Amino acid sequence: MDWVDRGLCRTQPERMFAEGAAQNEAKTVCFKCPVQLDCLAYALDHREEHGVWGAMTERERRSLLRRRPGVASWAEVFRAGTTHREPELEPEPVRVSRPGRAPAIPAAEVAKLRAVSA
């Protein structure tokens, strides 16, 4: 973790464990930091549960980890310069259920079901 000594937060670590709106202020430190991706990768790879790391709050990191459970090493992802983008889905059709009928299944869910059953 040689990157830790280069982090802009090293002089004010308590600020990075703020709660509520103060987390947004902590993120501003990260946006200017030369080791932002190293910090974020560490937090994601080690499942850090508290604080702002690499400009992401604990809630944001949990959300990212849920969306991308297959990533074994975020450090490798960031080193490779790749991004894990959300898959582009076709727009959901607006469907209105008629009384007495089951609600329509969104197209994305139908595609998932077909892929699983294939």
Per-residue pLDDT of 42-97, as tens digits, reads 999 999 999 999 999 999 999 999 999 999 999 898 888 745 554 444 555 555 55
Is residue 9 annotated as involved in ligand binding?
yes
Residue 7: band (very low, low, confident or very high) from pLDDT cuts 50, 70, 90: very high
Residue 30 annotated in ligand binding? yes
99 in a known ligand binding site:
no
Residue 88: DSSP 8-state = P
DSSP letters of 1-52? Answer: -GGGGG-GGGG-GGGGG--TTHHHHHHHHHHT-TTHHHHHHHHHHTT--SS-
pTM above 0.75, yes or no: no
- Residue in 108, 28, 22, 21 with CA at minimum distance from that of residue 9: 28
Question: Token pair for residue 116?
Answer: 């699983």
Closest to 29 (Cα-Cα) out of 10, 42, 46, 43: 10
Flag whether pLDDT at 115 surpasses 80. Answer: no
| Mean pLDDT, range 90-114, rounded to an integer | 58
Is 88 assigned to a binding site? Answer: no
Do 45 and 53 contact (CB within 8 A), yes or no? no
Look at residue 1 in the predicted model and tell me its pLDDT. Answer: 75
